[in-house]
Amino acid sequence: MIAFALTDALVTVGAILGIYLLWPHRRDGKVRMIRLGLGLVGFAALIGAIRFASGQVNEMELAHSLASTFAAAAGLLLISVGLILKVNAVKLDAGITRYIRYGLPATVAFLMFFPGTDPIISFIPVLALVLGTVASGLLIVKGRQTPGLVWLASFALIGLASVLIGGSRMESTFGITNWHLYHAMLGIWAVLVGEATKRLMAR
């Protein structure tokens, strides 16, 4: 079980590094959205690491599953919305930015506990991936090739991990490499998000 805890912990470490890279820009409301999104992903992975390290695989299965679903939807959506607002230089009052930053996760949390909303929850990460890819393309078109390409690489990586590996990473099949590969890719993705945002903020 320790091996599974370590690869979950790798995602948490990647999220922490991504957040750390953005520390100089922490007062920017849109960057705060991205940092919060990374934080949600890192927290879900931390629950997974505790689950496996403590041996409470069955006891913490529901908590880990809910946290992962929430992070995939709310976390990725926050990152993509923060990026697209930043790319388009949308000027918002600090209060409105705050409402968006906390309103998006609150909406996702509400939907998760509302019957019959599973298809919506499953669609949110796909929507976020599309929004993020479009925003990355806009950066490139606007002449910001370096941050645009790094952002594009980050969304390509998480898209690849989710589509090709995500469906076969169930912990019930202990011993397969897909679980570890998936979480290793998520850890790298989290660092890429931090680096991409850092490059975007560099003028």
Helices and strands, number each (H, E), in the chain:
8, 0
Q: How confident is the model at residue 171 (pLDDT cuts 50, 70, 90)?
A: very low
Tokens 């390290």 belong to residue: 53
User: Average pLDDT for residues 144-149, to the nearest whole number?
Assistant: 93
Q: How confident is the model at residue 173 (pLDDT cuts 50, 70, 90)?
A: very low
Residues 2-61 have pLDDT tens digits of 888 998 999 999 999 999 999 999 999 999 999 999 999 999 999 999 999 999 989 999
The closest of 135, 124, 46, 57 to 90, measured between CA atoms, is 135
Which residue type sits at 15? A
Checking if the pLDDT of 168 tops 70, the result is: no
Checking if the pLDDT of 172 tops 50, the result is: no
Q: How confident is the model at residue 166 (pLDDT cuts 50, 70, 90)?
A: low
Q: Mean pLDDT of all residues in the chain?
A: 90
End-to-end alpha carbon distance in the chain: 45
Cα–Cα distance between 128 and 49 in angstroms, integer? 26
Checking if the pLDDT of 127 tops 70, the result is: yes
What is the reported pTM? 0.92
Task: Give 167's contacts (C-beta < 8 A, 6+ positions apart).
Answer: none
Cα–Cα distance between 108 and 85 in angstroms, integer? 19
User: Average pLDDT for residues 157-185, to the nearest whole number?
Assistant: 71
Q: How confident is the model at residue 63 (pLDDT cuts 50, 70, 90)?
A: very high
The answer to whether 15 and 191 have CB atoms below 8 angstroms apart is: no
- State residue 40's pLDDT score: 98
- Domains parsed from the chain with CATH numbers: 2-201 (1.20.1070)
Task: Give 121's contacts (C-beta < 8 A, 6+ positions apart).
Answer: 69, 73, 108, 111, 112
User: What's 115's DSSP letter?
Assistant: T
